Chains A and B, each alone.
Chain A
C-alpha cells in the first residue's frame, strides 16, 4: 500500500486563494474571540478594553476593528456561541427527565454544569444584562429566548401529560423558573456553591414554583 504524505494531498487538491483568505480571516476572528473571552473573564466587561484584547491576541486594534464593530459586538458573539451550546445541552437534559420536576432540575443542572468552568464569564454577562444598553441585547439573543421557551415547553408537556393542571399559568410560571435558575448563579459565583448544593436548592425552588399547578 502506498502512503500519501499530507504535503502530497495538499499539492494534489489545490486551495484557491479566496478560500485561504477566508480561512485566515476566520483564524483572526477566532484568535480575537479567544483573547476577548479570556479578558472578559479576567477583568469583566467594563475592565476589558479593545486595546488589551488586541494585545492579547497579538494584533493591532485596527485588525480587531476590521473584524468586529466594537466591544459589545465581541461580547455578543461570545455569548451567542456559548448560549447556543448551552441550549443544546439543556434540551438534551430535559429529554432525560421522567417527569416535569426532574426534567426542569436537569435543565437547571445542565446550565450550572456548563458554566462551572467559566463562572467569571457568567459574572461578566450578568453585569452586562443589568446595564441599560447591554441588557435588552443580551436577553434578546436567540438562544437566550430559546432557553426561556424551553422552560415553557416543559410545563406545556406536563400539562399535556396530565401532571399539571390545564390552567397552570405556564407563561408566568416558566418565567419565574427561568429567573430562579438565573438567580442561583449569585451563589455559584460569589459563594462558591457546589453543584450538589445548587441542585438541592434548585429542587426546592422547582417544587415551590410547581406546587400550585399540580393536579389534585
Chain B
C-alpha cells in the first residue's frame, strides 16, 4: 500500500482520483468555514489550509470562492428538495397552510447551519461570482415548488385564477429570504423564523384569495 504523501491523516481510495479527493476535502472544509465565519469572512487561503491542500490546487478545481459555495449548497439542496418531493404531494389543507409547511421544512433544514444559508444569500452579490454559480434566487427548483403549490390552490379554489402567480412566487421567495435577516439582527432560531414566515404567508394569502 502506498502512503499518502501530502496528508498522512487521510488515505484516499485507490480508484478515486487525487483531484476528486481534493475536491471533496475542499468542499467539506469550505462548508465548515462558511458556516462559522460567513461568506465574506472566509478566504480561499483559509479553506485550503483547513482542507490541508495547497492554495494552488484549490484553484485548479474551482474558479472562485463563489463557485465553491455554490457547490456546497447544491449538494445540500438536493437533499432538501428530495425531502420536499416526497412530502409535498401528500399535503392537504389550504394553500396558505401547505406553503407554511413547505417553508417550515426549509427553516428546519437550514437552521442547524444557518450561517451557511446567510453566506448563500450574501454570495449573490459577490463580484467574483461566475455566471454558472447558483446563489439564492437563482435556484429554479424552489420557484417551481411554490408555483405547483399555488397552481393546486387555483384548482381547489382558494387562489384567485386571475392572480399573477409569478408575482406571488417572487413575493414568497423574497419574504422567505428576508426573514433570515432576523438571524443576523436578533439571532432567531428555526421556530421564530417559521412563526414570522407563517404570519407573512397569511398576509400574502389575503392578497391571492378570491374576493
Contact = CB atoms under 8 A, between A and B. Distances in A.
Interface of A: 43-47, 123-124, 126-136, 139, 169, 172-173, 176, 179-180, 182-183, 186, 189-190, 201, 204-205, 207-213
A55 B39 CA distance: 27
Contacts of A172: 199-200, 203
Question: Which secondary structure characterizes the binding site on chain A?
Answer: helix
B167 A183 contact: no
B140 interface: no
A208 B175 contact: no
A55 B171 CA distance: 43
B40 interface: yes
Contacts of A131: 38-41, 118, 122
12 contacts: A44-B125, A124-B125, A127-B122, A129-B181, A130-B122, A132-B37, A132-B118, A135-B184, A135-B185, A208-B204, A208-B207, A209-B171
B44 to A, nearest CB: 12
Given A131-B41, A134-B40, A179 B178 contact: yes
A208 B125 contact: no
Contact of A44 (B37, B41, B126, B178): B126
Nearest to B186: A136
B192 to A, nearest CB: 14
Contacts of A190: 124
